[in-house]
Structure 1
Amino acid sequence: MGTAERREALGNSVAAPLVVRGGLRSISTGRGMDGGKDSDGTGPSSASVEQLSRPVRAEAQPSYRQLWVEEPARRRRLPDSVRTAAVRAVLVISVTLIQAMVAFLSTLAGSWLAFPMVISSVASTVVATWAALDVWVTRQVWRQRNGVVSTPSSTARALRRERRKARRHARATARTQERIRRQGGGSGQLSHP
């Protein structure tokens, strides 16, 4: 919203206040809201005249406190598949608890709803147990597939490095033998081993 729109929104005779570093200023005149008068009320002082000649800038840094400060997580985030299974389990378990509570209260009240709710609570308990086990199984499967981290000091990595080095050396030796065989006229033997 520009200055003209602000004036129009507030009425032509009223100037909208603007908060700047020195205090409130009028958008239309650039003077302080007290009319530019000095502290004794006589008129603008030389300091306020200098302030009027400088361009009015809004404060760059916000003066309010942040609502929260982000901190690094204490634990790593769950993998997507495990988190999905955990959310599903929480929903199923909460529905099961609600069903059990409704079954208990309707039994106390002697309602006809008590018997169907008890039966559905038993079925929901089986499903909730499956959902909780599903979280555990999904977590174990994810760890088995993605959880192994190979470190540079790993024994397996060192053995693979040695095997690669031996294969490279064997290929280089075979290439050298083949080159000598082609150049030497078919004997294939080096003059010295």
Structure 2
Amino acid sequence: MSTAERYGTRELAGRSDAGEAAGQSGYRPLWVEEPARRRRLPDPVRDAAVRAVLIIAVTLIQAVVAFLCTMAGSWLAFPMVLSSVVSTVVATWGALDVWVTRQTWNQRNGVVSVPSSTARALRRERRRTRREERAAEGRQERIRRHGSAGQLSHP
């Protein structure tokens, strides 16, 4: 393999000092950043997913240990089988937790990926209502201020 092939440049083919050339113009980044294909999961959903994966991994390890203890006739087989059953219940809860957390996050923050999202329309409607309420309050305040300025005596 030639120096030019190693450093990925054509300029190095005619040079004798590869170290000097590599320091000057033979730089090639180790990786190239590419845009993500999918959006990153929201933090609460990602936390729940990591928790679920860890619980499921421990459950699978416990199941294998319980199986091997049973095959070996060890006294540890019965406690391991019981803990595997309990771990299976906890792992099911963990997987459901990911699903529920994702649904809750989507309901609270809206589904951003769909342009005609229901949540987005609801937010727009709420903003419009708030804007109208503030405008009405401002008008009422102006009426009160201007109305009291023309009074001749205090009540």
TM-score bracket, shorter-length normalisation: 0.5 to 0.7
Q: Count residues with an aligned counterpart.
A: 130
Say which of 165, 170, 174 aligns to 2:144: 174
- The equivalent of 2:32 in structure 1 is 69
- Corresponding residue number in structure 1 for 2:17: 24
Counting aligned pairs with the same residue, the percent is 59
Superposed, which structure 2 residues align to 1:46-125 within 5 Å? 59=24, 61=25, 63-125=26-88
Aligned AA for 2:74?
S
Q: Match for 2:128 among 158, 161, 180? A: 158
TM-score normalized with structure 2 length: 0.66
Alpha-carbon distance in structure 2 between the residues aligned to 1:170 and 1:132: 53
Greater share of residues in helix: 2
Gaps of 5+ in 2: 1-11, 111-118
Deviation at 1:23, TM superposition (A): 5.2
* 2:17 match: secondary structure: strand
Q: CA deviation at 1:166?
A: 1.7
Contact 1:103–1:117 (8 Å) recurs in 2: yes
Q: Which runs of 4+ in 1 moved over 4 A?
A: 148-151
Counterpart amino acid of 2:17? L
Secondary structure of the residue that 1:138 maps to in structure 2? helix
Q: TM-score, normalised by structure 1?
A: 0.55
Offset of residue 108 of structure 1? 3.0
Partner Cα separation in structure 1 for residue 145 and residue 106 of structure 2: 43
**1:138 CA drift (Å):** 3.1
SS in 1 for 2:150: helix
- Counterpart of 1:11 in structure 2 is none
Deviation at 1:150, TM superposition (A): 5.7
Offset, 1:91? 0.9
Identify unmatched segments of 5+ residues in structure 1.
Answer: 1-18, 28-57, 187-193
Please report how far the alpha carbon of residue 141 of structure 1 lies from its aligned counterpart in structure 2 after TM superposition.
4.0
- AA in 1 matched with 2:124: S
Q: Which is bigger in relative contact order (C-alpha 8 A, separation at least 6)?
A: 2
Q: CA offset at residue 105 of structure 1?
A: 2.8
1:126 aligned residue: 89
